[in-house]
DNA sequence: TAATCTGACTCAGAAAACTTGAA
DNA sequence: GTTCAAGTTTTCTGAGTCAGATT
């Protein structure tokens, strides 16, 4: 934690003059007090962002900004729309530009300083091991940016002071000293929790933590039980991660029983049991999140399974030739839209009709159910079973199945990687992990394009239908654009090279000397090389296109048992570095160590 | 009690920072 | 060899899950 840095920024007045006009015609410039000025800079830095055009953002910001103003400022600055932040904004843009233009030496110096900071504050010692801390910097003040339609967007995230900070370390540890003139809120020695530092944030009143890196040894609760048997628990990194996948594997053993159970429960006399059974079916089949209740007006309006409302589903007795189709349309975590049309069993459909009877659109679909009730029931079915285990289980089992299905033994390595990514993608689609298409996507595609073509020679770019479990997902709301074709240029090169080869061969036939034979050989090689390059380009292009709006990272990092991947790599001779980058290899070191090619999830 | 609250942890996409490779 | 933009990795911090405490 570098409070020194933080405090010096605060003390330093930026010496701007916020420009604002009291009327639309006549401009007036006003020098702000340091506090008001600092908050103004937060807004100015975001001026180009869409956030600053949103009414809620502006309203919340202005309200909090006024709290930092002097009385005089309050009297003069009465409307945000009359304030002109462009001077400030330009100042920061110029700074960014200047940073870009710095010399190599200057950049290196900054890099070294950052490394020094990391070395000093970025590590801690736990059980005699030096461990990397994930987020060792205190969050700086700024404007709160919620996701989606957040009622608190634009509010001022206040500066965290040493007086807000709780330090958690062992009794014999040297307690880091607070900056001069300051005190910590508290120093405690709680070895039942994993966090090192915590503070309460002022927007939601929730607690924030500083914790260890995911790659750290035993990212889990140190209980006396496990300390007694270090040989089996403390020996490898990421035990918590391992436990998660082991729970999911236990579910694999009893999932059939659980599925039969909830199918029975669809017929239950008790409404509560029926609702629980239908909800569990969705969680299992669609990998929905549990869906805790949320306080209204405190966060964006998003839902999960248990908190679905009547307005989030539409029932179609028949749709596109299929019977009993449920159309889901709701905002999930991070306000990511979940849209899917799913054919369901008749009994589920009838139950849903029943649950929706005499209800308003804004009423809860499962009014007799919440995550507590659901998880309690799951706990009875299997120790350690909760709603989210189904997501982990279904993600991992899908990867394993897809890899089996998609990997062709005689493919080359790039094609194998494409198969892996497709398997990964199937999971990401199942879990609804979306991303905004990269801003440069269309442009970069255009740069590479001449004209779109439906099929490329190798066939790897043919339309691909994602099959997940028993049903296939159509990408209704995912726009699949035209194919990237830097490839066309490559193809022309290849055609030229083939022509060259042909004429060289013809020459060789006539001349029959060593020199022309050599020419033929080199032309052959050139053709081969181009063919390989073309193949690689096609594979990459396909991968990129299919990935346009799908984020693979989240499932790779949090839902897929890494041992499946490690086993696959070993089996097909794909270097692990092609699938996992350095950080991922660190996080999954335990799996790379222990899984052999026969590993079965 | 059962509902509600709180704390601690995992999971999440955007944006910044860095790397790579083509022109 | 240099420049620049595209691609990849890392950082950041918000948004969930879920268990245990509190009322």
Strand B nucleotides with an atom less than 7 Å from a protein beta carbon: 4-5, 7-15, 18, 23
Distance A330 CA to B20 C1' (A): 40
Which single residue has its CA nearest the C1' atom of nucleotide B9?
A194
- Say yes or no: Cβ of A388 under 7 A from any atom of strand C: yes
Q: What is the pLDDT of residue A142?
A: 95
Distance A440 CA to C6 C1' (A): 9
Q: What is the pLDDT of residue A292?
A: 95
Q: At which of A47, A78, A102 does a domain end?
A: A102
Q: For A193, list phi and psi in degrees, rounded to 5.
A: -120, 165
- Say yes or no: Cβ of A514 under 7 A from any atom of strand B: no
Report the nucleotide nearest the CA of residue A443, measured to C1': C6
Mean pLDDT over residues A461-471, rounded?
A: 35
Mean pLDDT over residues A424-429, rounded?
A: 92
- Say yes or no: Cβ of A575 under 7 A from any atom of strand C: no
Residue A582 in any domain: the answer is yes
The mean predicted confidence, pLDDT, of chain A is: 82
Residue A235 has pLDDT above 90, yes or no: no
Residues 400-429 on chain A lying near strand B, CB distance under 7 A: none
* A379 and A406 inside one domain: no
- Say yes or no: Cβ of A414 under 7 A from any atom of strand C: no
- Say yes or no: Cβ of A146 under 7 A from any atom of strand C: yes
Task: Quickly state the pLDDT bin for A148 (edges 50, 70, 90).
Answer: very high
Which single residue has its CA nearest the C1' atom of nucleotide B16?
A96
* A206 and A337 inside one domain: no
User: Who has greater pLDDT, A545 or A226?
Assistant: A545
Mean pLDDT over residues A265-274, rounded?
A: 93
Residue A469 in any domain: the answer is no
User: Who has greater pLDDT, A256 or A107?
Assistant: A256
How many whole angstroms separate alpha carbon A477 and alpha carbon A337?
10
Q: What is the CATH number of the domain that holds A249?
A: 3.90.15.10
Residue A380 has pLDDT above 50, yes or no: yes
Residue A599 in any domain: the answer is no
User: Who has greater pLDDT, A344 or A82?
Assistant: A344
- Say yes or no: Cβ of A544 under 7 A from any atom of strand C: yes
Distance A195 CA to B9 C1' (A): 9
Residues 207-266 on chain A lying near strand C, CB distance under 7 A: 208
CA A305 remoteness from chain centre: 20
- Domain holding A169, by residue range, is 114-211
Residue A220 has pLDDT above 60, yes or no: no
Residue A552 has pLDDT above 80, yes or no: yes
Q: At which of A154, A176, A211 does a domain end?
A: A211
Task: Quickly state the pLDDT bin for A296 (edges 50, 70, 90).
Answer: confident
Task: Quickly state the pLDDT bin for A238 (edges 50, 70, 90).
Answer: confident
CB atoms under 10 Å from CB of A84, counted, come to 16
Residue A442 has pLDDT above 50, yes or no: no
Residue A84 in any domain: the answer is yes
* A554 and A540 inside one domain: no
Residue A8 has pLDDT above 50, yes or no: no
User: Who has greater pLDDT, A278 or A523?
Assistant: A278
Length of chain A counted residue by residue:
601
Instruction: Tell me whether residue A559 is one of the annotated catalytic residues.
Output: yes
Residue A496 has pLDDT above 60, yes or no: yes
Q: What is the pLDDT of residue A25?
A: 55
* A418 and A532 inside one domain: no
Q: What percent of chain A has pLDDT over 70?
A: 80
Distance A245 CA to C3 C1' (A): 47
Mean pLDDT over residues A145-152, rounded?
A: 94
- Is the separation of the CB atoms in A104 and A117 below 8 Å? no
How many whole angstroms separate alpha carbon A240 and alpha carbon A222?
11
Of A58-72, A90-104, A551-565, the range with the lowest mean pLDDT is: A90-104
* A286 and A338 inside one domain: yes
User: Who has greater pLDDT, A30 or A427?
Assistant: A427
- Is the separation of the CB atoms in A434 and A549 below 8 Å? yes
Residue A59 in any domain: the answer is yes
Q: For A207, list phi and psi in degrees, rounded to 5.
A: -95, 135
Q: What is the CATH number of the domain that holds A81?
A: 1.10.10.41
Q: What is the pLDDT of residue A218?
A: 53
Q: What is the pLDDT of residue A332?
A: 95
Residues A392-411: tens digit of each pLDDT:
999 999 999 999 999 989 88
* A285 and A428 inside one domain: no
* A540 and A557 inside one domain: no
Distance A372 CA to B2 C1' (A): 11
Which residue in A51, A324, A393, A559 is the catalytic one? Answer: A559
Residue A390 in any domain: the answer is no
Residue A195 has pLDDT above 90, yes or no: yes
Q: What is the pLDDT of residue A60?
A: 96
Q: What is the pLDDT of residue A236?
A: 47
Q: What is the pTM of this model?
A: 0.81
Distance A369 CA to C23 C1' (A): 22
- Say yes or no: Cβ of A449 under 7 A from any atom of strand C: no
Distance A156 CA to C13 C1' (A): 15
Q: Which helix (H) or strand (E) holds A466?
A: strand A466-468
Which single residue has its CA nearest the C1' atom of nucleotide B18?
A111
Residue A9 has pLDDT above 80, yes or no: no
* A539 and A563 inside one domain: no
Q: What is the sign of the dihedral through the CA atoms of A148, A149, A150 and A156?
A: positive
- Smallest CA-to-CA distance from A424 within A564, A270, A596, A595 is with A564
Residues 543-562 on chain A lying near strand B, CB distance under 7 A: 551, 553-555, 558-559
Q: What is the CATH number of the domain that holds A559?
A: 1.10.132.10
* A428 and A556 inside one domain: yes
Residues A171-190: tens digit of each pLDDT:
888 888 898 999 999 999 99
Q: What is the CATH number of the domain that holds A505?
A: 1.20.58
Q: What is the pLDDT of residue A556?
A: 95
User: How many domains does the structure of chain A reveal?
Assistant: 5
- Say yes or no: Cβ of A207 under 7 A from any atom of strand B: yes
Residue A516 has pLDDT above 90, yes or no: no
Distance A101 CA to C2 C1' (A): 15
- Smallest CA-to-CA distance from A1 within A165, A170, A187, A205 is with A165
Residue A467 in any domain: the answer is no
Residue A91 has pLDDT above 80, yes or no: yes
Q: What percent of chain A has pLDDT over 90?
A: 53
Q: How far is CA A213 from CA A90, A190, A220, A238, A336, in A?
A: 37, 19, 11, 10, 27
Residues A29-64: tens digit of each pLDDT:
888 888 899 999 999 999 989 999 999 999 999 999
* A249 and A339 inside one domain: yes
Residues 124-153 on chain A lying near strand B, CB distance under 7 A: none
Report the nucleotide nearest the CA of residue A299, measured to C1': C15
* A263 and A375 inside one domain: yes
Mean pLDDT over residues A331-337, rounded?
A: 94
**Which of A12-16, A92-96, A459-463 has the largest mean confidence?**
A92-96
Q: What is the pLDDT of residue A257?
A: 95
Distance A451 CA to B22 C1' (A): 21
- Say yes or no: Cβ of A542 under 7 A from any atom of strand C: no
Residue A223 has pLDDT above 90, yes or no: no
Residue A470 in any domain: the answer is no
* A42 and A81 inside one domain: yes
Residues 177-206 on chain A lying near strand C, CB distance under 7 A: 201, 203-204, 206
């Amino acid at each position: 934690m570098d409070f020194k840095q933080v405090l010096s920024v605060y003390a330093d007045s930026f010496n701007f003059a916020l420009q604002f006009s009291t009327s639309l015609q006549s401009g007036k410039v006003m020098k702000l007090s340091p506090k008001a000025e600092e908050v103004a800079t937060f807004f100015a830095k975001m001026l180009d962002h869409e956030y600053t055009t949103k009414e809620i953002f502006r309203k919340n910001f202005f309200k909090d900004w006024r709290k930092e103003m002097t009385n005089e400022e309050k009297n003069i600055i009465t409307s945000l729309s009359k304030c002109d932040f462009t001077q400030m904004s330009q100042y920061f843009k110029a700074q960014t530009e200047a940073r870009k233009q710095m010399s190599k030496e200057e950049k290196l110096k900054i890099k070294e300083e950052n490394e020094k900071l990391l070395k000093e504050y970025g590590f801690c010692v736990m059980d005699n091991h030096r461990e990397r801390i994930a987020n060792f910097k205190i969050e700086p003040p700024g404007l709160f940016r919620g996701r989606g339609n957040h009622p608190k967007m634009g509010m001022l995230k206040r500066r965290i002071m040493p007086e807000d900070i709780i330090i958690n370390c062992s009794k014999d540890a040297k307690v880091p000293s607070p900056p001069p003139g300051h005190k910590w809120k508290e120093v405690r020695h709680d070895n039942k929790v994993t966090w090192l530092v915590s503070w309460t944030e002022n927007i939601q009143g929730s607690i924030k933590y500083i914790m260890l890196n995911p790659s750290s040894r035993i990212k889990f609760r140190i209980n006396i039980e496990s300390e007694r048997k270090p040989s089996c628990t403390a020996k490898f990194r990421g035990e918590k991660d391992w436990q998660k996948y082991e729970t999911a594997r236990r579910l694999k053993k009893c999932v059939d029983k659980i599925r039969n159970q909830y199918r029975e429960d669809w017929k239950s006399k008790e409404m509560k049991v029926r609702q629980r059974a239908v909800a569990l079916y969705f969680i299992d089949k669609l990998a929905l999140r549990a869906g805790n209740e949320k306080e209204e007006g405190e966060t964006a309006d998003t839902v999960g399974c248990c908190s679905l409302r009547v307005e989030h589903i539409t029932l179609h007795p028949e749709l596109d030739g299929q019977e009993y189709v449920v159309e889901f349309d709701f905002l999930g975590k991070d306000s990511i839209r979940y849209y899917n049309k799913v054919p369901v069993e008749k009994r589920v459909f009838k139950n849903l009709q029943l649950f929706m009877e005499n209800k308003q659109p804004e009423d809860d679909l499962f009014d007799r159910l919440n995550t507590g009730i659901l998880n309690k029931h799951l706990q009875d079915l299997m120790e350690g079973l909760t709603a989210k285990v189904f997501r982990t289980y279904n993600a991992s089992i899908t990867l394993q199945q897809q890899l089996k299905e998609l990997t062709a033994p005689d493919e080359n390595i790039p094609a194998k990687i494409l198969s892996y990514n497709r398997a990964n993608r199937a999971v990401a689609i199942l879990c609804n992990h979306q991303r905004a298409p990269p801003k440069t996507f269309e442009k970069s595609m255009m740069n590479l394009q001449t004209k779109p073509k439906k099929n490329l020679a190798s066939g790897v770019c043919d339309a691909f239908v994602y099959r997940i479990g028993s049903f296939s997902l159509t990408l209704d709301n995912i726009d699949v654009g035209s194919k990237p074709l830097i490839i066309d240029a490559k193809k022309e090169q290849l055609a030229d090279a083939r022509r060259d080869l042909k004429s060289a061969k013809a020459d060789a036939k006539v001349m029959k000397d060593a020199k022309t034979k050599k020419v033929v050989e080199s032309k052959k090689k050139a053709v081969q090389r181009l063919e390989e390059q073309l193949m690689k380009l096609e594979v990459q292009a396909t991968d990129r296109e299919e990935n346009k709006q799908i984020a693979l990272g989240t499932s790779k990092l949090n839902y897929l048992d890494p041992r499946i991947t490690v086993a696959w790599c070993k089996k097909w001779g794909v270097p692990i570095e092609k699938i996992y980058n350095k950080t991922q290899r660190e996080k999954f070191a335990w799996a790379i160590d222990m899984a052999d090619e026969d590993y079965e999830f």
